[in-house]
Chain A
Amino acid sequence: MAAEGKIDPMHQFQIAPLVGDLSSPFAFTNSALWMLIVLGAIYAFMIGGMKRELVPGRWQMAVEGVTGFITNMLDTNVGPEGRKYVPWVFTVFIFVLFANLMGMMPFGIIPGVHPFTVTSQFTVTGVLAIISFGIVLVVGFWKHGFHFLSLFIPHGTPKPMIPFIFLVELLSFLVRPFSLALRLFVAMIAGHILIKVFAYFIVQGLAAGTAMSFGISLLSFAFIAGVSALELLVCAIQAYVFALLTSLYINDAVNLH
């Protein structure tokens, strides 16, 4: 990309093959590479805290804090049966958290390297959401049989309203995987586009070379610093919301209501 070309904030989300080409299903893309990097980071983080020391060090406290956080979330939202679902909710939470944070890391200072946010692709978040939704469906029908459908008729619904309420509740149930995936994907896209647009302002301001454009560059830089801090918060909140909503949906399937 030219330094002073048209502002093109969508370029960063392009999937480019590193090995092979996109026409083959086995192309190794930058998305796959960054998934592996995220996986490696999670692995390193977890292995460092699983020494099971009697007096935990800082690292072990950090890992136990995360696992305890998820266990606690399922205990309060699902109840005693929630422990069974800790593996999936923990997996999705830590993957989304690390993928979000990896996309925010300043690897760009190394020439030729550009961090790729894995969760900025609707396919990735969509698959995560579909697995969560599938678990809800399987658990619901497994435990309750067709009684699971009573989920769509809240207690105390007046008789004549039942068909209408059933339709509305069914619709809101079916929209869940989309809203789950869309929220994470759009939140990531939006933050990255915002940062990228203002990054272009810096470059263009410096290229213009006048005192005023230099001031605009400086302002944009301060803005980016603030937005980056906000984005780190959003990364954590989105991972938390994804895990929280997954556990709430699992609660619907386990306990009906």
Chain B
Amino acid sequence: MDLASAKVIGAGLAAIGVGAAAAGVGNVFGSFLQGALRNPAAADGQQGRLFIGFAAAELLGLIAFAVAMIILYAV
């Protein structure tokens, strides 16, 4: 296999991580909604934690994206 095709395959594999992060972000917001609909009065106070969880889940997907970009353009 030559380098060019290996790079493209590697970038595609790295992009799987972005999909996993999508599941994570969905999980964060889904769980928040589940809790918030049970106790709407407490929901507004937890928005900070919601966004912290969102940020943490999103960061890992973004790192996977960065790896894919590095493989494609920088290596």
Mark A residues whose CB is within 8 Å of B: 10, 73, 76-77, 179, 182-183, 186-187, 189-190, 193, 237, 240-241, 244-245, 248
Contact = CB atoms under 8 A, between A and B. Distances in A.
Contacts of B62: 182-183, 186-187, 190
B6 interface: no
A244 B48 contact: yes
A183 B73 contact: no
B51 A193 contact: no
Contact of A76 (B48, B51, B52, B73): B48
Contacts of A76: 48
A189 B73 CA distance: 13
Contacts of B48: 73, 76-77, 244, 248
A115 B55 CA distance: 26
Interface in B59-74: 59, 62-63, 65-66, 69, 73
B51 A182 contact: no
Contacts of A10: 73
Top 7 closest A-B pairs, CB basis?
Answer: A186-B62, A241-B55, A183-B59, A186-B66, A190-B65, A10-B73, A241-B51
A237 B51 contact: yes
Contacts of B52: 241, 244-245, 248
A182 B63 contact: yes
27 contacts: A10-B73, A76-B48, A179-B59, A182-B59, A182-B63, A182-B66, A183-B55, A186-B59, A186-B62, A186-B66, A187-B58, A187-B62, A189-B66, A190-B65, A193-B69, A237-B51, A237-B54, A241-B52, A241-B55, A244-B48, A244-B51, A244-B52, A244-B55, A245-B52, A245-B55, A248-B48, A248-B52
Interface of B: 48, 51-52, 54-55, 58-59, 62-63, 65-66, 69, 73
A179 B52 CA distance: 12
B4 to A, nearest CB: 13
B68 to A, nearest CB: 10
Contacts of A190: 62, 65
Given A187-B62, A193-B69, A245-B55, 11 more contacts: A76-B48, A183-B62, A186-B63, A186-B65, A186-B66, A187-B58, A189-B66, A190-B62, A190-B65, A244-B48, A244-B52
B43 to A, nearest CB: 15
B12 to A, nearest CB: 15
B58 A183 contact: yes
A76 B44 CA distance: 12
Nearest to A241: B55
A1 B48 CA distance: 44
A158 B55 CA distance: 30
